[in-house]
Amino acid sequence: MENKVEERGGWGSKFGFLMAAAGSAIGLGNLWKFPYLAAKFGGGLFVVVYLAIVVLLGFTMMLGELTIGRSTRLEQYSAYRKLNKKWGFLGALGVLSAFMILSFYSVVGGWVLKYIFTFLTGGVKGDPGAFFGTFSGSVGEPIFWHALFMIATLLIVLGGISGGIEKASKIMMPLLFLFLIILVVRVLTLPGAGAGVAYYLKPNFANFSLDVVVKAMGQVFFSLSLGMGTLVTYGSYLNGTEDLQENALTIPALDTLAALLAGLAIVPAVVAFGMDLDAGPKLLFITLPKIFDSMPLGGIFGLMFFVLVFFAAVTSSISLLEVPVAWVVDSKGWTRKKAVFFFATVCWVIGIGASLSLGVWDMKFLPNMGLFDTLDYLTSNIMLPLGGLLMSLFYTFAWGYEAPIAEIKKGSTFSLQSFWKLSMMVLVPIMMAVLFLTQMGILKL
Ligand code: PHE
Dist. CA 213 → ligand 1 center (Å): 20
Answer yes or no: pTM beyond 0.85. Answer: yes
Dist. CA 296 → ligand 1 center (Å): 33
Give the atom of ligand 1 at the shortest distance from the alpha carbon of 26: 4
Dist. CA 424 → ligand 1 center (Å): 22
Dist. CA 29 → ligand 1 center (Å): 7
CA distance 431 to 423: 10
Tell me the residue type at 322.
E
Residue closest to 145 by CA, chosen among 339, 351, 386, 413: 351
The 10 Å Cβ neighbour count of residue 398 is 15
Q: Buried b vs exposed e over 22-48: b needs ≥16 C-beta within 10 Å? A: bbbbbbbbbbbbbbbbbbbbbbebbbe
Instruction: Indicate whether 4 pLDDT > 90.
Output: no
Residue whose Cα lies nearest atom 6 of ligand 1: it is 225
**What is the pLDDT, as a whole number, of residue 164?**
97
Mutational pocket test of ligand 1: of 223, 232, 318, the residue with most ligand atoms within 8 Å of the beta carbon: 223
Region 254-263: mean pLDDT is 98
Long-range Cβ pairs for the range 339-344 (8 Å, 24+): 340/154, 340/157, 340/158, 341/154, 343/99, 343/102, 344/150, 344/151, 344/153, 344/154, 344/157
Instruction: Indicate whether 441 pLDDT > 50.
Output: yes
**What is the pLDDT, as a whole number, of residue 7?**
62
Dist. CA 423 → ligand 1 center (Å): 23
Give the atom of ligand 1 at the shortest distance from the alpha carbon of 98: 11
Give the atom of ligand 1 at the shortest distance from the alpha carbon of 319: 10
Dist. CA 88 → ligand 1 center (Å): 23
**What is the pLDDT, as a whole number, of residue 3?**
45
- The CA dihedral of 318, 116, 293, 291, to the nearest 10 degrees, is 0
Region 210-233: mean pLDDT is 94
The model's pLDDT over 37-93, given as tens digits with 9 standing for 90+, comes to: 999 999 999 999 999 999 999 999 999 999 999 999 999 999 999 999 999 999 999
**What is the pLDDT, as a whole number, of residue 6?**
52
Residues in contact with ligand 1 (CB, 6 Å cut-off): 24-25, 27-30, 101, 222-223, 225, 228, 230, 316, 319-320
**What is the pLDDT, as a whole number, of residue 1?**
38
Dist. CA 31 → ligand 1 center (Å): 11
Residue whose Cα lies nearest atom 10 of ligand 1: it is 225
Mutational pocket test of ligand 1: of 223, 232, 316, the residue with most ligand atoms within 8 Å of the beta carbon: 316
Region 439-445: mean pLDDT is 85
The model's pLDDT over 189-206, given as tens digits with 9 standing for 90+, comes to: 999 999 999 999 999 999
Residue whose Cα lies nearest atom 3 of ligand 1: it is 27
Dist. CA 317 → ligand 1 center (Å): 8
Give the atom of ligand 1 at the shortest distance from the alpha carbon of 224: 1
Instruction: Indicate whether 422 pLDDT > 50.
Output: yes
Region 125-153: mean pLDDT is 95
Instruction: Indicate whether 101 pLDDT > 90.
Output: yes
**What is the pLDDT, as a whole number, of residue 110?**
97
**What is the pLDDT, as a whole number, of residue 131?**
96
- Are 301 and 292 within 8 A, CB to CB? yes
Helix H, strand E, coil C: the string for the chain is: CHHHHHHHCCCCCHHHHHHHHHHHHCCHHHHHHHHHHHHHCCCHHHHHHHHHHHHHHHHHHHHHHHHHHHHHCCCHHHHHHHHCHHHHHHHHHHHHHHHHHHHHHHHHHHHHHHHHHHHHCCCCCCCHHHHHHHHHHCCHHHHHHHHHHHHHHHHHHHCCHHHHHHHHHHHHHHHHHHHHHHHHHHHHCCCCHHHHHHHHHCCCCCCCCHHHHHHHHHHHHHHCCCCCCHHHHHHCCCCCCCCHHHHHHHHHHHHHHHHHHHHHHHHHHHHHCCCCCCCCHHHHHHHHHHHHHHCCCHHHHHHHHHHHHHHHHHHHHHHHHHHHHHHHHHHHCCCHHHHHHHHHHHHHHHHHHHHHCCCCCCCCCECCECHHHHHHHHHHHHHHHHHHHHHHHHHHHHHCCHHHHHHHHCCCCCCCHHHHHHHHHHHHHHHHHHHHHHHCCCCCC
What residues have CB less than 8 Å from 409, skipping those under 6 apart? none
Region 312-339: mean pLDDT is 97
CA distance 231 to 158: 19
Dist. CA 232 → ligand 1 center (Å): 14
Dist. CA 126 → ligand 1 center (Å): 32
Residue whose Cα lies nearest atom 9 of ligand 1: it is 225
